């Protein structure tokens, strides 16, 4: 869960985190010269996964503090009480970033360091910490890019009104966001409201694998409470409205003077049809609708994808006319967290849908990293879900360009994990050959997308 080497990328003048690689590592590796002038390379972290110090200087508990300490919720029984200890070691970490030559650092602010109870009294110690972090970054020539929410919902709000299941959180998040503009907006020029709202809705309220761990899988044998048929859609709706409300406040009251930009980071697996059959091509399109389109379509077009409306029916909340106007256009840039590519095929038997109603069954698709011949789509990294498929990034960039009218895009996360093998010799570990291949491949495909080299399609700008 704690990946000190988790890397991102940033396009144009914003934050993408990508390791600064050297051309001598591989004969065809992409280097800085392969990208346009002004392209920014950076690195990234999230507060709960990185900071540690969960009880220091007034920080309140978040839902992941409770979740990670419950038996069986984390496979290796770890938690983030200490993590990378970034809260205490941020100056050392900034020194490492400077030595790496990165231009930007995307980090998230812990909501409960600013408001220990989610609302109410501000914790000045938390404000002071992030002021010090931001100032230290700028003093070292590193641009701060701030994520407001990276899954660490205040536990008090979860206990009080079930957090993202209630529209009350829209106002509480807006108040928190405005406080960040007031305290840090004079120096922070790149804001990300939410990190991976799709992950929050599906993993937190459909499968129950992430905090707060709600689902109705197998009649609550896995989760103590929840409804996988309805709660993911309610949570997603409130996340979208919270994002749009925070953006509206920034644009009306702060953006003109602070001259920053604001967006959202979407998690996106690229889906390839398993076969060239029409039903599998359509299944891949639906899989993307139920992932990226679920959140990006309302922000670009004012409503959910038609495939979701048709398949989910009245379980999918409706936007009022006022809400549509608020949500549509609520992005200055599109943040993309992309790691891997899967095959998609039509769920011909729909056995899952017979047993339960959830977002996977609703989409009518099956997504797998293996083809119909059983062969993997690419080389496996360490995580069971992560396969190395560089071409997927270029396909995804062109998909966004053509479907959504060529919006500004920032690759906010990209990278691969590695096994933690204490027996591996240090020299061998430092070679890191697989990771070099990963970044070489993905950076090459990104450069090709920017340059427009994609079978006659133009690239991203």
Residues with a known catalytic role = 196, 413
CA distances from 182 to 142, 177, 185, 187 (A): 21, 9, 6, 10
Looking up tokens 């690419």 gives: 378
DSSP H/E element including 262: strand 261-267
The one-character DSSP state at 61 is: P
Distance CA 147, CA 28 (A): 34
Q: Alpha-carbon distance 284 to 304, whole Å?
A: 17
Rounded to 10 deg, the angle between the 197-205 and 294-301 helix axes is 140
Q: How many CB atoms lie within 10 A of CB 141?
A: 11
How many residues in total does the chain contain? 461
DSSP output for 289-322: IIIIIHHHHHHHHSS--HHHHHHHGGGS----HH
Closest CA to 442 of 397, 401, 403, 404: 397
Up-side HSE of residue 333: CA atoms within 13 Å toward CB?
A: 25
Give the Cα separation of 276 and 256 in Å (integer): 49
Is residue 103 within 8 Å of 43, Cβ to Cβ? no
Phi/psi of residue 44, nearest 5 degrees? -145, 160
Cα 163 to its chain centre, rounded Å, is 19
First-to-last C-alpha distance (Å) of the chain:
33
The strand pair at 270-273 and 333-337 is best described as unpaired
CB atoms within 10 A of CB 286: 23
8 A C-beta contact, residue 58 and residue 116: yes
What's the angle, vertex CA 45, arms to CA 80 and CA 54, rounded to 5? Answer: 30
Q: Around 277, how many Cα atoms within 13 Å sit in the side-chain half-sphere?
A: 11
Helix, strand, or coil (residue 219): helix
CA dihedral 435, 439, 441, 447 (to 10 degrees): 180
Find where tokens 């009350």 sit. Answer: 168
């Amino acid at each position: 869960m704690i990946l000190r080497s988790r890397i991102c990328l940033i396009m144009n003048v914003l934050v993408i985190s990508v390791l600064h690689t050297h051309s001598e590592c591989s004969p065809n590796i992409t280097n800085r010269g392969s990208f346009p002038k002004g392209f920014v390379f950076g690195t990234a972290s999230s507060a709960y996964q990185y900071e540690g110090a969960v009880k220091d200087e007034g920080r309140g508990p978040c839902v992941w503090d409770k979740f990670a300490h419950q038996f069986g919720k984390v496979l290796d029984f770890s938690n983030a009480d200490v993590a990378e200890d970034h809260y205490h070691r941020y100056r050392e970490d900034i020194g490492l970033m400077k030595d790496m030559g990165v231009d930007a650092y995307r980090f998230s602010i812990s909501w409960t360091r600013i408001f220990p109870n989610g609302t109410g009294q501000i914790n000045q110690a938390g404000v002071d910490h992030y002021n010090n972090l931001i100032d230290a970054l700028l003093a070292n020539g590193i641009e701060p890019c701030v994520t407001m929410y990276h899954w660490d919902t205040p536990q008090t709000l979860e206990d009080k009104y079930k957090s993202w299941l209630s529209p009350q959180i829209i106002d509480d998040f807006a108040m928190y966001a405005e406080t960040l503009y007031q305290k840090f907006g004079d120096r922070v020029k790149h804001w990300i409201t939410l990190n991976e709202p799709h992950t929050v809705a599906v993993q937190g309220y459909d499968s129950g694998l992430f905090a707060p761990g709600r689902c109705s899988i197998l009649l609550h044998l896995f989760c103590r409470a929840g409804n996988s048929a309805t709660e993911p859609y309610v949570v997603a709706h409130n996340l979208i409205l919270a994002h749009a409300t925070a953006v509206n406040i920034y644009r009306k009251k702060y953006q003109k003077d602070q001259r920053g930009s604001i967006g959202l980071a979407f998690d996106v697996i690229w889906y390839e049809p398993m076969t060239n059959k029409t039903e599998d091509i359509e299944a891949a399109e639906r899989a993307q609708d139920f992932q990226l389109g679920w959140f990006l379509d309302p922000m670009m077009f004012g409503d959910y994808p038609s495939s979701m409306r048709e398949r989910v029916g009245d379980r999918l909340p409706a936007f009022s006319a006022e809400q549509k106007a608020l949500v549509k256009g609520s992005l200055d840039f599109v943040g993309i967290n992309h790691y891997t590519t899967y095959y998609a095929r039509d769920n011909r038997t729909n056995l899952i849908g017979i047993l339960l109603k959830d977002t996977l069954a609703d989409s009518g698709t099956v997504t797998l990293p293996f083809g119909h011949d059983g062969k993997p789509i690419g080389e496996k990294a360490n995580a069971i879900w992560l396969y190395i498929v560089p071409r997927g990034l270029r396909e995804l960039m062109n998909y966004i360009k053509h479907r959504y009218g060529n919006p500004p895009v920032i690759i906010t996360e990209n990278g691969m994990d590695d096994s933690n093998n204490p027996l591996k010799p240090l020299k061998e570990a430092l070679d890191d050959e697989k990771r070099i291949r990963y970044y070489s491949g993905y950076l090459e495909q990104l450069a090709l997308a920017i340059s427009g080299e994609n079978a006659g399609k133009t690239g991203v700008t």
